[in-house]
Amino acid sequence: MALLLLAVPLAVAIRFTFLADERGELERDAMAAVVRVGPDFAAGDPVELPGSRGGVQYAVYDSNGSLRSGEGPSPADATVRQALSGRVAQASSGGELVVAVPISSGERVVGVVRASTSASTVWGRVLWGWAALLGLCLVALFAAVWVARRRARLLSTPLEALARTSLAIADGDLTARAAGSSIKEIDEVARAHNSMVERLARLLERERRFTANASHQLRTPLTGLQLGLESAMADPDADLRTALAEAAQQAHHLDHTIDEVLRLVITDDTAAAPAAAEPVADLLRAAEQRWHGVLARNGRRLDLLWEPETGRLCVPGRTTDQVLDVLLDNAHRHGVGTVTVNLRDLGTALAIDVRDEGSTALDAQAIFQRGTGAGTGIGLALAREMAEAAGARLALSGRAPTRFTLLLPLEEGASSGSPRPSAGG
């Protein structure tokens, strides 16, 4: 559109300019012929016309419009008659450009010099000018197309890459990220896209972890509840009230398990309510009740050691309960021999050691990574996450025999204050 708006006026201007230039040349040639002929030709003097220039033809007419010399129409045409009135006349007729200039003597017109040339010569130059203009327009058009395609590629390439990234994410590759470009607006879209994908990936990871954590933590209590009920149903002499009390206790523990797993999920984005504090001795007795029979069925002992004053100290109840379950389940599945739970007061923190008589070849970091070990690889990683969410720490403090230590910080003034020997730091 820009080329058309520019080229059409230029084409008109080229035509007008070339025609005007040719008429100006003809007028100058006719003026030169007037000077050469002079007014004396009216008295019968011979007429001397200049030589022809590039196809220009000359003719001399008297005051009556009769052709006296040269090549021209006879009788005089309208251009010559117009010049006899005393002014220069220009016209285009019969495929010719014509200029007629009057010859004056005093105040009287005594004749006319007519100069003409073929219009095809002028139109040839006009066509050459138009051809040059067309060539320039084509060059400009190709340059514009090249620039436009280059700019289009600069715009489309990052958008196509963003589309490919979106398709990869739709196919399940949540690690795909949109790359940056040199265009600010597209970079903003890419950053927003990457931020959205990262948030979705975190949400999906949290959902997967919640599913895995819940299935891991609920499996053992549900199995215990099922075994207790089936045992009571199979024994006709069983005390049903006792069986129901144990089932209620297991259900209560299941409720605590669900709450703790949910609390671990929401701590990623919001501040979850801290677990209620409970005396650590009560938690140890409940753990003993849950795991004594499980270990005894495999011919293994469970020993719990603590001092009365230390047992009265309070710790986050549900978190400690769940971490103890994971550590005892780990000792049950992967350990050997007697399982010992030892409670120690370190002054500003409580240490709970869970030890068995087996050993582990994994180092202190790898053992807490998900997917590590012979089992599902979830329990120890989950236990560390729950401990850290409550402000506690869980570490592998011994490899042969295997010993895990849970450090639970105490509020200032909560320690029993009594000096006690401790086996660790």
3-state secondary structure 320-372: HHHHHHHHHHHHHHHCCCCEEEEEEECCCEEEEEEECCCCCCCCCCHHHCCCC
Q: Is residue 376 part of a domain?
A: yes
- The strand ranges marked E within 166-217 are none
Q: What is the mean pLDDT of the chain?
A: 82
Confidence label for 260 from pLDDT (cuts 50, 70 and 90)? low
Residue predicted with more confidence, 126 or 414: 126
Owning domain of residue 348: 277-409
Total domains present in the chain:
4
Q: Is residue 144 part of a domain?
A: no
Is the preceding omega at residue 274 within 30 degrees of 0, hence cis? no
pLDDT at position 303 is 93
191 in the same domain as 83 = no
375 in the same domain as 290 = yes
- Averaged pLDDT, 254-270: 63
Instruction: Give 361-396 pLDDT, tens digit per residue.
Output: 887 888 888 766 555 567 788 888 888 888 899 999
Q: Is the pLDDT of residue 421 over 60?
A: no
293 in the same domain as 378 = yes
Instruction: Give 314-370 pLDDT, tens digit per residue.
Output: 888 878 888 898 899 888 888 899 999 999 998 888 999 999 998 888 878 888 887
222 in the same domain as 202 = no
Q: Is residue 140 part of a domain?
A: no
Q: Is the pLDDT of residue 265 over 50?
A: yes
Q: Is residue 53 part of a domain?
A: yes
- Averaged pLDDT, 407-415: 69
Residue predicted with more confidence, 418 or 76: 76
102 in the same domain as 17 = yes
Residue 148: which region, alpha, beta or left (left: phi > 0; alpha: psi -120 to 50)? alpha
pLDDT at position 134 is 92
- Averaged pLDDT, 117-122: 83
pLDDT at position 334 is 87
Confidence label for 192 from pLDDT (cuts 50, 70 and 90)? very high
Q: In whole angstroms, give the CA distance from residue 176 to residue 134.
A: 50
Among residues 279, 269, 265, the alpha carbon closest in space to that of 209 is found at: 265
194 in the same domain as 221 = no
Instruction: Give 137-169 pLDDT, tens digit per residue.
Output: 999 999 999 999 988 888 888 888 889 999 998
Instruction: Give 213-259 pLDDT, tens digit per residue.
Output: 666 666 666 776 777 777 777 777 777 777 777 777 767 667 776 76
Q: In whole angstroms, give the CA distance from residue 231 to residue 227.
A: 6
Q: In whole angstroms, give the CA distance from residue 150 to residue 152.
A: 5
Neighbours of 377 (CB within 10 A): 17
89 in the same domain as 10 = yes
- Averaged pLDDT, 408-420: 57
Instruction: Give 202-218 pLDDT, tens digit per residue.
Output: 888 777 777 776 666 66
Using alpha carbons only, give the angle 109, 111, 114 rounded to the nearest 5 degrees.
Answer: 125
Residue 18, domain CATH: 3.30.450.20
pLDDT at position 239 is 74
338 in the same domain as 392 = yes
Reduced to 3 states (helix: H, G, I; strand: E, B; else coil), residue 59 is strand
Q: Is residue 354 part of a domain?
A: yes
Q: Is the pLDDT of residue 418 over 50?
A: no
Q: In whole angstroms, give the CA distance from residue 37 to residue 50.
A: 9
pLDDT at position 423 is 37
